[in-house]
């Protein structure tokens, strides 16, 4: 009963808390849209006293733009609801939440354009071209702020669904481990149903066998039952589990056996009464790659210009430390196994690469030392803040690196790669990446490889933008930087 009581207390701050949060999010979106749309109207037409609230350019129907603005706001909020932008199950994790906002906005814009054309109501272009871009950006920024707030609380165990994991031990263990590592996903594992396990799995208590999962889920106060494959239940048992959970308010989620495959590559198709999962092959060519390269070049150029004063200051600090070279160059391996010279601000003493100290805080072919005596005083600051990586923008401009990608490996590391790890070289290495925002030097070799391969298999322009935003937070927190 203690487990049930603890779970029920957490549920008050969990699912119910997220539902309250979604309502507050809808309210903040309404406020954002009022400001954006009203601002566009004032910018285009001035105050009602100046223009009587009418658009002088309309040709067929005199439109009162105050009522137009109210209609746009109502339709915009309705479109957000229709596209599930406030679904508590998607808040705070993944790109689907942002995609819902973008889809809702663009489809509303397209619908209004079509209606305006067919009915010959000429909405002022200046008004539309200000309201929608400003509103969309404001919605995404607000959503990001809410997500940051939610992530902080979820890391403390609040605002997360209580989860009962069901399945064989071999499948339950990795799922429990992954859910625990992704606290921002909003899942908190409270119990496990696994007949072939000891009293606990990864520190989570085992409360029974798979066949009793529906009853046990209600007993422990679970919000979600996560099925991780069970030889005891099989397809028939899973179907019965879903039936048993009907009307309880408990969600059933099924973790497919495919690992490191992102959702956008998976599509469910009903075939002969079966739900078959189609998995698209990863793509390493085409228009998306051209857009990524163009974005890299443009962003790198803008950053180089904007950060030029910082480059001068950091260069002076490195030189004044010991009057040695400002930059450090090292041969790394890039796209397709081609070598290139990577540039960084020098953070170690001159000739440090010729002297390898004793000890190693990393595993695998990596070498990392938390208290490396070769690192200079300014070098420690540069590493903690990741500012030593800034000169790699030159590598991005030369087309040797990308802003986001796998960690650029040394030639000695590539020589020690197992066959599967060579897939890291299918894309350009990145100035930042999943490894940068997930712990950096604190990562094990296995985790570093797993994150890089996940990125290679599932990269997208949207995920790149998300990683870039998370990089700013990682630079501020300095976790795993040494």
Residue 392, pLDDT score: 94
Q: What is the pLDDT of residue 250?
A: 87
Q: d(Cα 348, Cα 150) in Å, to the nearest integer?
A: 39
Q: Are 376 and 349 in contact (CB under 8 A)?
A: yes
Q: What percent of the chain has pLDDT over 70?
A: 80
pLDDT value of residue 168:
85
57: CB partners within 8 A, 6+ apart = 122, 124
Q: Please give the pLDDT value at position 88.
A: 79
| Helix ranges, 360-482 (H) | 377-385, 392-397, 411-415, 434-437, 445-458, 461-477
How distant, in Å, are the alpha carbons of 65, 69, 134, 328 from that of 58?
11, 15, 23, 63
State the first-to-last Cα distance of the chain, in angstroms, to the nearest integer: 46
Q: What is the pLDDT of residue 303?
A: 93
User: Sign of dihedral through CA atoms 41, 44, 48, 51?
Assistant: negative
Please state, in angstroms and as integers, the Cα–Cα distance from residue 3 to each residue in 72, 202, 218, following that order: 49, 17, 11
Interval 117-145: pLDDT, tens: 777 776 677 777 888 889 899 999 998 88
> Which residues in the chain show pLDDT less than 50?
1-12, 51-62, 480, 482
Say if residue 326 is exposed, middle or buried (CB neighbours under 10 Å; 0-12, 13-18, 19+): middle
* Residue pLDDT, tens place only, 404-436: 999 888 888 888 888 788 888 888 999 998 877
Domains, in order of start, for the chain: 8-155 (no CATH), 161-257 (3.40.50.20), 287-477 (no CATH)
């Amino acid at each position: 009963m203690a487990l049930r009581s603890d779970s029920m207390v957490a549920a008050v701050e969990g699912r119910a808390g997220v539902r309250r949060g979604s309502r507050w999010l809808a309210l903040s979106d309404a406020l954002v849209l009022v400001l954006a749309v009203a601002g566009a109207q004032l910018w285009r037409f001035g105050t009602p006293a100046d223009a009587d609230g009418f658009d002088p350019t309309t040709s067929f129907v005199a439109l009162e733009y105050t009522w137009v603005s109210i209609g746009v706001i109502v339709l915009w909020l309705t479109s957000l609801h229709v596209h599930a932008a406030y679904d508590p199950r998607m808040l705070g994790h993944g790109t689907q939440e942002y995609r819902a906002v973008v889809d809702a906005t663009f489809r509303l814009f397209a619908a209004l354009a079509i209606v305006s054309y067919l009915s010959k109501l000429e909405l002022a272009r200046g008004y539309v071209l200000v309201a929608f871009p400003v509103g969309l950006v404001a919605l995404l920024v607000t959503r990001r702020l809410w997500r940051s707030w939610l992530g902080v609380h979820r890391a403390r165990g609040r605002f997360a669904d209580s989860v009962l994991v069901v399945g064989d031990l071999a499948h339950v263990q990795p799922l429990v481990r992954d859910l625990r590592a992704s606290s921002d996903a909003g899942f908190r594992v409270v119990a496990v149903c696994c007949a072939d396990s000891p009293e606990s799995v990864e520190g989570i208590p085992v409360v029974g066998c798979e066949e009793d999962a529906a009853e046990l889920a209600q007993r422990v106060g679970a919000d979600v039952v996560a099925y991780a494959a069970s030889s005891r239940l099989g397809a028939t048992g899973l179907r019965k589990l879903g039936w048993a959970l009907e009307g309880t308010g408990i969600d059933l989620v099924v973790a497919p056996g495919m690992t490191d495959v992102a959702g956008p590559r998976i599509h469910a198709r009903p075939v002969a009464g079966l739900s078959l999962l189609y998995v698209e092959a990863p793509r390493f060519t085409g228009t998306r790659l051209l857009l990524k390269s163009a974005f890299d070049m443009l962003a790198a150029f803008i950053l180089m210009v904007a950060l030029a004063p910082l480059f001068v200051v950091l260069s002076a600090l490195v030189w004044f430390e010991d009057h040695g070279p400002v930059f450090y160059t090292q041969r790394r391996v890039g796209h397709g196994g081609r070598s290139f010279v990577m540039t960084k601000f020098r953070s170690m003493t001159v000739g440090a690469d010729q002297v390898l100290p004793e000890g190693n805080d990393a595993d695998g072919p990596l070498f990392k030392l938390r208290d490396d005596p070769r690192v200079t005083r300014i070098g420690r600051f540069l590493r903690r803040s990741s500012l030593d990586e800034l000169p790699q923008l030159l590598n991005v401009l030369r087309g040797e690196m990308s802003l986001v990608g796998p960690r650029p490996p040394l030639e000695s590391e590539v020589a020690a790669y197992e066959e599967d790890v060579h897939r890291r070289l299918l894309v350009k290495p990145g100035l930042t990446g999943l490894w940068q925002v997930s712990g950096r030097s604190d990562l094990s070799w296995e985790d570093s490889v797993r994150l890089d391969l996940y990125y290679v298999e599932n990269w997208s322009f949207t995920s790149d933008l998300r990683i870039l935003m998370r990089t700013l937070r990682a630079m501020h927190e300095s976790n795993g930087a040494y």
